[in-house]
Structure 1
């Protein structure tokens, strides 16, 4: 059924269901992992631990992306925008599945702090949506800009021989660029400075904690 026939209560139930699946780590990918044909090279314990820390940060970043898109879709004022957020969320769910799988391969786990960051991202997305669709789109543009920069830094920081993680991060980066461009093309407004600062602060808190836990 198209989302334009959903009642507000329907959207609330869908939003709650999506939140539970994201927080519980239940994510299914519609595309195979970009690392499917990449061999896992030998890494030292220290390199493997470092890769796991970076991928764990990326995984929580995708948990936050789900919070953002979930809230923005729920409170979008136009059906067209709601459908765009839902589409982007489905594509971002691939990232969740890819990074979770990679963490298992690295003998590591997702962050125990993921539910807290989902809640914070959901709150920020709600604020953006309540400001109106152009500002909500602008929020996406700014989010994807920050995520792209963040993923580029991880490409530089990953161990040189960790080609599997690198392939995943690179595809994620390309997807984020596409999502930001789509939002820009739909008429995004510039994000107010206080919101940008709040986003940056949350990003720094997330990266500084979830690398370890």
Structure 2
């Protein structure tokens, strides 16, 4: 999973309420409130990677579950079976076809990306320019010159995130749309934990 998509997950599940508790532009207040008031989300997603001509390079779909703070489960069902799961501290990426699990700490996975700025270490206004593009649609632009993406757009409907767009420096765009979304649902114990299946290769950071 690319780092820009990890930004999406942290944006939805990270400590945004604390991050945005300080001074924010009026354009960001509605977005901040909607995200802070959403404790959990679950549903299905469709993800597309598009080139500069908006031609689809690859497409995938599956189900998702998010729980603040920092927990998420991304189950890819098409075209390949993969899982990306975080318990808020450890990130597991399981590729069934490769029979491989990659293990990283969430901090390491997001190190050097704008997602790290959303963990609560800095004020939003220090790192992003936030604009209301139109009602229910908000744009974020990183201020750092070394940022790995150029812009991100969050779309809301009735206070629920319905789509996200991330534009990278190469002219490619990742768009994720959410459907059949249930808000503030409860998850069974262990839903955001992962145990590697027997026989798979486990690679990653020692001690995780």
TM-score, length of structure 2 as denominator length: 0.31
Q: Which has the higher contact order (CA 8 A, sep 6+)?
A: 1
The structure with the greater share of residues assigned to helix is 1
The structure with the greater share of residues assigned to strand is 2
